[in-house]
Structure 1
């Protein structure tokens, strides 16, 4: 019984010490926030949230990114350029308008950052801007090396800011250490009393024979940690599984009439766009009409294969000369071709081709834009089709895969009249010789989703 009381005492003392530490830390943070709020007229905590939502994509506090560093931006503009907060209000809400109006500093920033106007934020109120400025004016954490400079510097810090954080933490650590020593001494005293009464020894002896599973169940902390771990692990695997929904990379369905890209595009070097001619002028590449097949197969009525004969792998998979000849006969039956009389009978049968590549309805992809305008090879997205006996989906065709291609692939400009004018303008804007699709708006949502 006494041991149980001791445990309660230990828990209360430990909780009290942690509470005191939390209160002291919170008080210091609140004091710092109040100082910043009084200086700028805004709430730095709200400003941090607004900054992350609206500004962090292009700006950092302490280094130049797409835009300039924003630490103490209000004070710097006031001292260096003589600009007040009203100028900042107008600039943040309508920067393109200020540039067109001829504002000197607005045009200076516009020219310095590659003539790329900052996004306007008309929905931000003056109070929101004050909160953001309060966050940018918040003092950065003192570097660790500052405490080891000179004795005068440390003395000055104590005189200006009162008691330093190091002294407060040191005092709390000392108090916590004294509590630990005190509790150890109390523990020893209680054990001696319990041993004299013969209570604890019997309980400890019984606890030694407690099954592991029972000890685990009785330990609420371990049960809680294990439950959290299992929930997180389950969420991780569930997320991974759900992220694969609709991703059919490697999908290779069996078609009603076998078509070997390896023979046609590989061995016979047939151009992809001979069969998929609509890829040059249309959104889709299209399924070739069987009449396109008959352009050749009116004369090619059997497959003779290589002079050396089929390979051992082809024979194992059933890809013999007789197999391919049988597939040609299926083609004749589908188009109604009378092989003996060399004429069409008019008795056709539809072929239920199985689609391999299938984008969602909300995703827009234009083959002509990529094939005819950008000059992208079919193998970039569809893989080495000239080596595929059965056509399969080579790429994941996910949004991330498309975006990475737009960011990393340089647009071909040589001999491409379509891009001559736009290349000249964008080269001035970005100051580069090579352009990617991302620089030309290839990351805009409306380009692919409509």
Structure 2
């Protein structure tokens, strides 16, 4: 009987210990962070002010939990309290919280009370991940590092010098082959007693025969004059036409990434196009609206840049140097950027962006081409007088929900007997519209 009771009691104690052990293990597992989920949470909540490996608006967060424990003796509970409400720690007089607050010019960290313990564990697990620096930021000396070059490729590509050298060698071999063939043919002719004519034989020179034929001389002169006139006219008609002009800017700006991949509206940067004659050059402050938080591009985007011979991260650093941004604030040491103008109309031609963009509802791509596909901006259209006139002749005025044209559209519709009016029918071909 005692043995049965003892066995039953032992079994219950063992079961209880097993339950406690499993509960404790589950609690430990629950507190272990998921780096993949932590990366997503970090990007959506922390990346606006923090980077992992260098300071930004806030300090670098790589191994932040371990660093605080080693350097300040602060545990995870303190870190969780700081993340959820840093202002409360500062008001409570916490020494380290006050120090951090003062070091960052009295800028309080945004509170995140919505983050659970598991969310914070996931974020900390992501910050504690060991990352190969050569993968995160390839540098000279890293395995398989390919340095971008101005020709648009890396060291593994074929350079222009190599191609030119190969072509020169090919032409040299061809010339040698022709000489050898000529010698062989001469020897063959001598062996067969075949007469070979040389340049020293007495024959009527071709130029003398040509000069003696007066009709042929006259026809040739006329063809020459007509061809010369054609090419001279074509040359002068291209004066001032810069279609295809693609200058290298002091800071590389990819419209393909900004307007294409990221879908940024053209008028976000060129805001004056809505209200002004000119579209304007965006101030660098517009760039910094985003690039305060974006100092590096994604690795896959960085790899795309090597195809164009561009290091996007280095170009962002040029922007920082121009505005005087050190990663945490403005230093006041700024310098102008000498942008190169691409589209330039003659002084005697008037063009108003707001009239076309805001009133006319013309898309930017109509004149500037597929900007969202351009890695380097270039002049897409010829911008000649004939090109503008053809557009005015073919383009119907957008009058729907446009009070600007309501009255004049009604009057001119009756005059021409049509429902839709082209720009030309509304006076778009008058000289004074563009020249005054």
The separation in 1 between residues aligned to 2:284 and 2:254, in whole angstroms, is 15
Which residue does 1:355 correspond to in 2?
Answer: 341
Which residue does 2:401 correspond to in 1?
Answer: 415
Match of 1:229 among 218, 223, 232: 223
SS in 2 for 1:338: coil
Match of 2:306 among 308, 311, 315: 315
User: Structure 1 residues 216, 416: CA separation in 2 closer, same or farther (over 3 Å shift)?
Assistant: same
Deviation track 1:393-420 (CA, whole Å, cap 9, x = no partner) reads 0111111110000000111111111111
Give how far 1:214 is off.
2.2
The separation in 2 between residues aligned to 1:238 and 1:422, in whole angstroms, is 45
Match of 2:269 among 267, 270, 275: 275
Q: CA RMSD in A?
A: 1.6
The separation in 2 between residues aligned to 1:222 and 1:326, in whole angstroms, is 65
Structure 1 unpaired stretches of 5+: 1-208
Which residue does 2:353 correspond to in 1?
Answer: 367
2:388 counterpart of 1:402: yes
2:331 counterpart of 1:345: yes
SS in 2 for 1:423: helix
2:411 counterpart of 1:391: no
What is the TM-score with the length of structure 2 in the denominator? 0.52
User: Structure 1 residues 239, 432: CA separation in 2 closer, same or farther (over 3 Å shift)?
Assistant: same
Deviation track 1:294-339 (CA, whole Å, cap 9, x = no partner) reads 11111112111548x734xx433234xxx11111111111011121
Give the number of aligned pairs: 234
Structure having the higher helix fraction is: 1
SS in 1 for 2:303: coil
Structure 2 unpaired stretches of 5+: 1-202
2:331 counterpart of 1:331: no
Match of 1:434 among 400, 413, 420: 420
Give how far 1:234 is off.
0.7
Which residue does 1:26 correspond to in 2?
Answer: none
Match of 2:214 among 220, 237, 240: 220
Which residue does 2:295 correspond to in 1?
Answer: 301
Which residue does 1:66 correspond to in 2?
Answer: none
What is the TM-score with the length of structure 1 in the denominator? 0.50
Which residue does 1:443 correspond to in 2?
Answer: 429
Deviation track 1:216-249 (CA, whole Å, cap 9, x = no partner) reads 3123333222212101111111111211111111
User: Structure 1 residues 260, 305: CA separation in 2 closer, same or farther (over 3 Å shift)?
Assistant: farther
In the TM superposition, structure 1's runs of 4+ consecutive aligned residues that sit over 4 Å from their partners are: 209-212
SS in 2 for 1:337: coil
User: Structure 1 residues 305, 359: CA separation in 2 closer, same or farther (over 3 Å shift)?
Assistant: farther
The separation in 2 between residues aligned to 1:231 and 1:346, in whole angstroms, is 64
User: Structure 1 residues 345, 210: CA separation in 2 closer, same or farther (over 3 Å shift)?
Assistant: closer
Superposed, 1:70-149 pairs within 5 Å as none
User: Structure 1 residues 211, 327: CA separation in 2 closer, same or farther (over 3 Å shift)?
Assistant: closer
Superposed, 1:194-205 pairs within 5 Å as none
The separation in 2 between residues aligned to 1:269 and 1:247, in whole angstroms, is 30
SS in 2 for 1:360: coil
Give how far 1:211 is off.
4.8
The separation in 1 between residues aligned to 2:394 and 2:334, in whole angstroms, is 47
Deviation track 1:377-402 (CA, whole Å, cap 9, x = no partner) reads 00000011111110010111111110
SS in 2 for 1:355: coil
Which residue does 1:149 correspond to in 2?
Answer: none
SS in 1 for 2:250: coil
The separation in 2 between residues aligned to 1:259 and 1:215, in whole angstroms, is 63
Indicate the larger mover: 372-381 or 295-304: 295-304
The separation in 1 between residues aligned to 2:307 and 2:286, in whole angstroms, is 31
SS in 2 for 1:344: coil
The separation in 1 between residues aligned to 2:341 and 2:299, in whole angstroms, is 28
SS in 2 for 1:371: helix
The separation in 1 between residues aligned to 2:297 and 2:317, in whole angstroms, is 11
SS in 2 for 1:287: coil
